[in-house]
Amino acid sequence: MALLGVFGRNDGDRETLSAYAARGMGTEIYESPHSFDVAGKRILLVHDIGEVSARSVESHDYVVHGCSHLQGQKKVGTTLVINPGEACGWIHGKCTAAILDTDTGEVENITL
């Protein structure tokens, strides 16, 4: 399974992070925003959802963003917007992630 992500605002040495990520099978980190297709669905990864237009959001099936570090999801038109929270727990003290099932559209929020 591939792991794709985008850089945020405080990622330090991006070159080293990218090289480290490339050692994993199918792991890649992109500049934000990054759009791709998987399982017939259009997905947009973006650090701050304010970086992209409403039209860009609505042209995707799913948008995954961070920035606020607050886990949750909401519908914007037909697009499901997902914030997985923060894996490190530095800001809000809770380590979280989200798993999206592209077949059903269901999101499982998890605590790490």
Cα separation values, 36 from 5, 13, 17, 56, 111, Å: 11, 25, 21, 13, 26
Q: What is the pLDDT of residue 107?
A: 96
CA-nearest of 5, 11, 3 to 65 is: 5
Q: What is the pLDDT of residue 21?
A: 83
- Whether omega before 33 lies within 30 degrees of 0, making that bond cis, reads yes
Q: What is the pLDDT of residue 77?
A: 96
Alpha-helical runs (H) found in 31-104: 54-58
Record the pTM.
0.89
Domains identified in the chain and CATH numbers? 3-111 (3.60.21.10)
For every one of its 112 residues, what pLDDT tens digit does the chain have, with 9 covering 90 and above? 678 899 888 888 899 888 888 887 778 999 999 999 998 999 999 999 999 999 999 999 999 999 899 999 999 999 999 999 998 888 889 999 999 999 999 999 999 9
Using DSSP's 3-state secondary structure scheme, residue 65 falls into strand
DSSP β-ladder status, 96-100 and 62-65: unpaired
Question: What is the DSSP code (8-state) at residue 33?
Answer: P
Angle at 73 between CA 68 and CA 74, to 5 degrees: 115
